[in-house]
Homo-oligomer: A and B are copies of this chain.
């Protein structure tokens, strides 16, 4: 997905994220993806807390993640992000690529919708801000 990446965030595994098997627990990948999306929001001039206080909540409607290789304590990685829009839904394609060996450890699509005062809506300000970043589905 390299050609469509519009944002990336470097992160590192924190040791407590590994579980008894010695590998990062799967739930943390959702955290990594979410944190990267929020940083992308900030990069675009938004703040998810400020949006929340204005009655706009971005919520995840679906997450579909394939786990390719396990991250381990002290691994560093980048989380890459591409985005498109389908109806009122923002589709984020994200990958986690480990530093060192460039292994794709996880990749997935997260569908995000906006609740405006608690009701599903089309968030125009986010659409405008992201618009130039949208990738085309071939």
Contact = CB atoms under 8 A, between A and B. Distances in A.
B48 A15 contact: yes
A82 B44 CA distance: 39
A88 interface: no
Count identical subunits in the complex. 4
Contact of A59 (B42, B70, B74): B70
A34 interface: yes
Interface stretch (A17-25, A93-101, A121-129, A130-138): A17-25
Contacts of A61: 66-67
Main secondary structure of the interface of A (DSSP, over half): mixed
A1 interface: no
Contacts of A49: 15, 18, 20, 22, 72-73
A49 to B, nearest CB: 6
A60 interface: yes
